[in-house]
Structure 1
């Protein structure tokens, strides 16, 4: 595969996968998801290193979730989302089942679906300029599974509900206190810190690391079914006028009026 939306390289004791769409804060579109799926599969076959660093290009964002403009087609209608659009459930599964220790490199915004990807990585290292948060209900969306139930395993039910119900933003320091981040460092030290973590991980037994990762995953495996059932419901919801209002409002830079669609 020839990549247009991501970059893939193996260096400094890790596979480096970078979402390369800085002009839209590294928001992903269907093409991005397909390339990430290919990159994760490719990384699984890379036996020379034990870690994978997931990053976003530029200084402003790790990833800000789905590109809302990608939901429009040339005929003015909406492209499909959910199970029939971007293969997010497959991407999340691929990230969770990755045969490498995954590290999220968060140098800026990790918002919405990007925040879910960061929280699903085994480890997260952030710059002091990192910003975390959810945005789904604000734009007529939600991540019912890994983005909700799994998030609660990290930060507890009360904090997870707060994050989804209020859609506030949290600093890297706040994210660290909540348990979302393993370490926060000054922005100019971020790459050096990640390199050190990768170097230490690379000295470990690959098989032992994989066994440890599978053991951790086994404790939350039920969330995979929650995610599948939730995504099936999400597919139906995305076809509603209420959900479309969120996309319309975002692209038109106005406040959405969801309540007019509630019966």
Structure 2
């Protein structure tokens, strides 16, 4: 597959996948998701690979979720390649691929991990963050949500109260704050992030691949029921994107004006 939105490289048993749209803070569009899925599946099929690093290009952002400019008039994302999960993005497929690849995935968060980008790092097995990284949700601010792994699995990591705070208030959190709540494993200076992720990946590659595979399956098994919740959530999100309420969030963001959801409370 020809990669335009993603950089993909493999060396010494480690695959590195980089979202390469720094001009839009590594926001993803349909093509980005397709390329991410292809890269993860290639790493999955390559028995020489024992660990995967996911990061973003540049210094400003890991990923800030879906590119709002790519949304069409019907509310969902413009998508020409396939089903797109009903919302124009195969994001549910990507989530499942990251979870199910029988190799640990390390998120190296180099900047903003916001919205759908925040969900990506939550789903990864491990997260190492630059001390300059910022985390948070935006869904309810822009007429969107992730009521699957992005919320239900998040609650397993940080607890119900904190997860609800993250989603209801849509505030930003520092890397150190996220480490304290168990959402980040390690915080390092920004110029040491790539090396820190590489070192952890190298340590994983030294271990028994079968043991690591079974351990990941075991960890996933306890929260696998969230997959059903995710399917329900994505179906509802596809319907929600075509409402005036959701479009108000998108339009306010694109027009750089305050959002007005009060008119939908009548």
Give me the TM-score of the superposition, normalised by structure 2: 0.95
Q: Secondary structure at the match of 1:148?
A: helix
Alpha-carbon distance between aligned partners in 2 of 1:212 and 1:9, rounded to the nearest angstrom = 25
Q: Secondary structure at the match of 2:150?
A: coil
Select which of 112, 116, 132 maps to 1:113: 116
Counterparts of residues 116-127 of structure 1 (less than 5 Å): 116-127=119-130
Counterparts of residues 32-111 of structure 1 (less than 5 Å): 32-72=32-72, 77-78=73-74, 80-81=76-77, 83-111=86-114
Count of residue pairs the alignment pairs up = 259
Alpha-carbon distance between aligned partners in 2 of 1:177 and 1:113, rounded to the nearest angstrom = 22
Residue deviations 1:153-197 (CA, integer Å, cap 9, x gap): 010000000000000000000000010111001111111211111
Q: Secondary structure at the match of 2:173?
A: strand
Aligned to 2:170: 167
Alpha-carbon distance between aligned partners in 1 of 2:74 and 2:68, rounded to the nearest angstrom = 10
Alpha-carbon distance between aligned partners in 2 of 1:140 and 1:12, rounded to the nearest angstrom = 43
- Displacement of 1:12: 4.9
Counterparts of residues 243-254 of structure 1 (less than 5 Å): 243-254=246-257
Q: Secondary structure at the match of 2:55?
A: strand
The 4+ residue runs of structure 1 with deviation greater than 4 A are: none
Aligned to 1:22: 22
Aligned to 2:81: none
CA contact (8 A) 1:26 1:57 kept: yes
Unaligned runs of 5+ in 2: 78-84
CA contact (8 A) 1:12 1:195 kept: no
Unaligned runs of 5+ in 1: none
Alpha-carbon distance between aligned partners in 2 of 1:227 and 1:112, rounded to the nearest angstrom = 16
- Displacement of 1:127: 0.6
Aligned to 2:208: 205
Alpha-carbon distance between aligned partners in 1 of 2:210 and 2:99, rounded to the nearest angstrom = 16
Alpha-carbon RMSD across the aligned residues, in angstroms, is 1.1
Aligned to 1:6: 6
Alpha-carbon distance between aligned partners in 1 of 2:171 and 2:12, rounded to the nearest angstrom = 35
Q: Secondary structure at the match of 2:37?
A: helix
- Displacement of 1:42: 0.8
Residue deviations 1:8-59 (CA, integer Å, cap 9, x gap): 1002541001000000000000110111111111111122121000010000
CA contact (8 A) 1:83 1:89 kept: no
Q: Secondary structure at the match of 1:66?
A: coil
Alpha-carbon distance between aligned partners in 1 of 2:121 and 2:87, rounded to the nearest angstrom = 24
Alpha-carbon distance between aligned partners in 2 of 1:141 and 1:111, rounded to the nearest angstrom = 13
